Every structure is written in C-alpha cells, then in structure tokens.
Amino acid sequence: MSPSRVAASRLAQQGSDLIVPAGSQRTQTKSGPVILADETKNPAMEKLELVRKWSLNTYKCTRQIISEKLGRGSRTVDLELEAQIDILRDNKKKYENILKLAQTLSTQLFQMVHTQRQLGDAFADLSLKSLELHEEFGYNADTQKLLAKNGETLLGAINFFIASVNTLVNKTIEDTLMTVKQYESARIEYDAYRTDLEELNLGPRDANTLPKIEQSQHLFQAHKEKYDKMRNDVSIKLKFLEENKVKVLHNQLVLFHNAIAAYFAGNQKQLEQTLKQFHIKLKNPGVDTTSWLEEQ
C-alpha cells in the first residue's frame, strides 16, 4: 500500500526539525531550524585554568611574604593568639627534651636491671657450690633479684610515662601545630588579597578598572572568611589542648614521682600500688618467694 499524502506531509515536517549533534557528518537537506548540542568541556582547558589560578595565588602569596620580610608590607596580627602559639612551640621543645631524657633513663635502668639479674643468678649458683659461704652468697643473690624485680616495676612505670608524653607531644600537640600552619597560610593569603584590593582602590575608577575591583573584592572576602574560620579553629584547638595537656601531665607526673620515690625508698608495696593505680600491667616471670630483704 502506498502512503497517503497526509502521512508523507507529516514525515516531511518531522524531518525538518531533527536535532543534529555537534560533529555529525549528516547534512540537512530540508530547510528548518537546526539545534546543535552543547559541546562538552575540555578537561585540558579545565586543568589549565586551575594551574593559572594556582600560579596567580602563589605569586601573590610569595610577593606578600617577601614584602613582609623586607618590612614594606603590612601584616595582620592577632597578638593574643600569636602569644599562645609561641608558648605552645616553646613548650613542645621542652617536652621533647624531657621525653629524650626519660628515654635515656629507661635505657640505663634496663641495662642495670639486666646486670642485677645476671649478678643474682651468679650469686645463687655460688651459694649452691660453696657450702662455707652458702648464706652470704644467698643473701646477695636475694638482694640482687629483689632489686632487679623492683627495677622492672619502675621500668614499667617509666615506659608508661614515656608513651603518654610521646603521644601528647608527637600526636596531640603536632596535630594542633598542623592547624596553626594552615592558619598561617590562610593569613598570608588574606593579607595578599587585602593588599591587592587596597592597591586597586588607590587607582583610577573607570570602565576598565571597576570589573577588576569587583573581582578583587570578591576574592578578598572569600579569603577573609577562610582566615576567620582558621583563626577560630586554632583558638578552639589551643583551648582543648591546654585542658588535655594539664590532665595528662598531672597524672603522668604523679606516676613518675610516686614510682621513683617508692623505688629508692625500697618500698616494694608502694611501687606496685602505684602501677595498679594507673592500671599498668607488667609481664613478669614467676613470682619469687619472699627474701630476707623484703622481710626487713
């Protein structure tokens, strides 16, 4: 069956309104509107634009840093916050020194305990083989073994102190200082775009400069918001850090003092009680029998 004239007319109208995608090889023979699809964004152009923005931002920040070092540029300063940051950095150095000394003490104590253990075993061996000096060698064997046992207990307390202070210094404080670095970077960007806006405002205002001033004002406002946010983040972190630092160091200093005092006083029960108070568990060998020094 041949199509009717009406159907042929409809097909002709539909063909004249076809959407032809970009880059298509098909040609439109009939007259009528042709709608081209939007071209997809070029990834290379997007990357180039990102590099351009990064380069411009780096240039402005570098210029601001050099200007500050030469004493030509102005710098935004929060006196109270800067003082807290300086104190934090100074305290970090002092805590690192305490940590280093405590680690040295731990190493030296471990070597002494190891020597006392060996000396105790040597005395015990001679006590069995020298009948005429059995008691004397036995006393010394018990003494060295007791000292080694107490030394191991003290070593456990010192190592617990070291681990806690190490976490405070190299994790908690370091995390806060990373936020401080981000805050300082935001401050440099803020001052760089502030200086740029001030220079444009000092120049003429015409049809060419007004769009640049508006764009600079927009960028300045964005970096000001970022700077204010980072300043607030640093203030909050410094506050929580101070509270956490006081709590951690209070407990660890009490532990360190009580353990050292009990060890050198020869108070084994107090030394063990100190470790129980701070929930420190030691993996010691079998329990030794009570010696004459413990009874004394």
Q: Tens of pLDDT along the chain (296 residues)?
A: 344 454 445 444 544 444 444 444 444 444 444 444 444 567 777 777 777 777 777 877 887 788 878 877 788 889 999 999 999 999 999 999 999 999 999 999 999 999 999 999 999 999 898 888 988 999 999 999 999 999 999 999 999 999 999 999 999 999 999 999 999 999 999 988 888 888 888 877 777 888 888 888 998 899 999 999 999 999 999 999 999 999 999 999 999 999 999 999 888 888 989 888 888 877 644 444 443 334 43
Within a domain: residue 72? Answer: no
In the chain, % helix, strand, coil (3-state, to 5) comes to 80, 0, 20
Q: Are 262 and 270 in contact (CB under 8 A)?
A: yes
> In total, how many domains does the chain have?
1
Domain CATH code at residue 103: 1.20.1270.60
Domain range for 243 is 79-279
DSSP string of 230-269, one letter each residue: HHHHHHHHHHHHHHHHHHHHHHHHHHHHHHHHHHHTT-HH
**pTM flag (> 0.85):** no
Predicted confidence at residue 261, as pLDDT, reads 94
Q: Are 27 and 15 in contact (CB under 8 A)?
A: no
Q: Are 101 and 161 in contact (CB under 8 A)?
A: no
Residue 110 CA to residue 103 CA, distance in Å, equals 11
Exposed/middle/buried for residue 190 (C-beta within 10 Å: 0-12, 13-18, 19+): buried
Nearest to 121 by CA among 292, 288, 294: 288
Place of tokens 């995390």: 175
Within a domain: residue 36? Answer: no
- Residue 35 gets the label, from left (phi > 0), alpha (psi -120 to 50) or beta, of beta
Within a domain: residue 35? Answer: no
Within a domain: residue 131? Answer: yes
In this structure, the dihedral spanned by the alpha carbons of residues 85, 87, 91 and 93, taken in order and rounded to 10 degrees, is 70
Within a domain: residue 19? Answer: no
Within a domain: residue 53? Answer: no
Compute the residue count for the chain.
296
Within a domain: residue 103? Answer: yes
Within a domain: residue 70? Answer: no
Show the beta-strand stretches assigned E in the chain. Answer: none
Predicted confidence at residue 41, as pLDDT, reads 63
Contact residues for 78 (Cβ-Cβ < 8 A; gap 6+)? 231
Neighbours of 237 (CB within 10 A): 19
